[in-house]
Amino acid sequence: MHFELTEEQSAIQEMARKFTADEITPFAAHWDEEHVFPRETLNKAAQLGFGSIYVAEEHGGIGLSRVEAALIMESMAYGCPSTSAFISIHNMATWMIDSFGSDALREKYVSQLVTMENIASYCLTEPGAGSDAASLKTKAEKDGDHYVLNGGKAFISGGGVNELYVVMARTDQGSKAGGISCFVVEKDTPGLSFGSQERKLGWHSQPTAAVLFDDCRVPASNMVGSPGDGFKIAMKGLDGGRINIGACSLGGAQRCLDDAISYVKERRQFGQRIADFQNTQFMLADMKTQLEAARALLYIAADKVSREAIDKTQWAAMAKLLTTETGSKVVNDALQLHGGYGFLMDFPMERFLRDLRVHEILEGTSQIMRFVIGRELVNE
């Protein structure tokens, strides 16, 4: 087996790293502290193709695999996990329209999503349907050449700000997962409204709000795929989404490890550098080893998702579980090595600690990842 990046992958990674160093890292602390949504930075990312990473080239995207997507997300998260994750969610929603939408729907929306002139949200979670997403209650009832949506979605990244919402809604009340369909809803559609912006522990560079439907009339032509395909589309999107969120954890953790190494080489106590204490070296050794092991698993899982391998969902779940939990541990250890300074906003550790914490919850909690992995093992 060959584990080295190809020349093309290395070039993509280097491009993403340079973009991050120039356009994200210098500003991320300000975005976090002031809750700034960096729309201009997102547009610049789209100019490099980062708004359409796995959209087909013939539709304006750059048509890369999930491995290259992971490299890009990891690189951008080195500067700001929140911003990188937001771009990942946009990519997921755009990919759904490109891959499963009709030619007319693709022509109507994809070109503006590719440039991130319009940004898309992914709307699955509801107040009463989080981990059990198939139990969602939002209804879509056929009325002539429209569907009428009623219900609400919770914790939606881009809620109230983004131009498009890829929404999972129930079209068949008699079926659970098989009764869910997928729709594209435009922001200015009558009957669509938004809750107030959520006050969050982290992810301050992106807006988050409830998305509400009250007799919201959506053209039937805005259905993505066929009636009843919504849950399957949502789950296929989550495989890639889990890879990307895992990559964001790796990027944030790598930044904190690098900063911790630099700090312990400079900080002196008891007449020597902190780096010279064996305990410090053992901590760094564990952080490095755990991070590289998680990274290797993530890249293998990303390749399986790209190839549509039969066990891709299990591997995506394993990768998300390990990367997100490892990422949080590495960041916490990096903060510990900084001592009291790690607790201050003058250093980035506390921001990364807050931003990475939610990665163990969204796109499927760590507990659900263990359920997915274990279910596959006993049903083989």
Q: pLDDT value at position 190?
A: 98
pLDDT tens series, the chain, 380 aa: 677 899 999 999 999 999 999 999 999 999 999 999 999 999 999 999 999 999 999 999 999 999 999 999 999 999 999 999 999 999 999 999 999 999 999 999 999 999 999 999 999 999 999 899 899 999 999 999 999 999 999 999 999 999 999 999 999 988 888 999 999 999 999 999 999 999 999 999 999 999 999 999 999 999 999 999 999 999 999 999 999 999 999 999 999 999 999 999 999 999 999 999 999 999 999 999 999 999 999 999 999 999 999 999 999 999 999 999 999 999 999 999 999 999 999 999 999 999 999 999 999 999 999 999 999 999 86
CA distance 61 to 84: 18
What whole-number distance in Å separates Cα of residue 20 and Cα of residue 41?
10
Q: Are the C-beta atoms of 320 and 369 separated by less than 8 Å? A: yes
H-type helices in the chain, by residue range? 7-23, 28-34, 39-47, 66-77, 81-100, 103-114, 230-266, 278-306, 312-337, 349-357, 366-378
Strand partners, 140: 149
Q: Residue 59 gets which letter from DSSP?
A: G
Of the candidates 249, 283, 309, 257, the residue with the CA atom closest to the CA atom of residue 81: 249
As a 3-state breakdown, the chain gives helix, strand, coil percent values, each rounded to 5, of 55, 15, 30
- Identify the pLDDT of residue 1: 61
Q: Looking at the domain that runs over 7-114, which CATH code has it been given?
A: 1.10.540.10
Superfamily classification of domain 231-378 = Butyryl-CoA Dehydrogenase, subunit A, domain 3 (1.20.140.10)
308, 325, 363, 380: the catalytic one is 363
Task: Evaluate the CA torsion angle 190, 131, 73, 256 in order and state its sign.
Answer: positive
363 included as an active-site residue? yes
- What sign does the CA torsion over 179, 149, 238, 369 have? negative
Alpha-carbon distances, residue 211 vs 126, 214, 361 (angstroms) = 9, 10, 19
Domain with CATH 1.20.140.10 in the chain: 231-378
Distance CA 84, CA 97 (A): 21
Q: Which pair of structure tokens corresponds to residue 112? A: 């503006």
Residues of the chain with CATH 1.10.540.10: 7-114
Encode pLDDT of 331-367 as tens digits. 999 999 999 999 999 999 999 999 999 999 999 999 9
Q: Are 153 and 134 in contact (CB under 8 A)?
A: no
What does the pLDDT read at residue 77?
Answer: 98
What pLDDT, on the 0 to 100 scale, is given for residue 360?
A: 98
Q: What pLDDT was estimated at residue 182?
A: 98
Q: Which CATH class is domain 120-228?
A: mainly beta
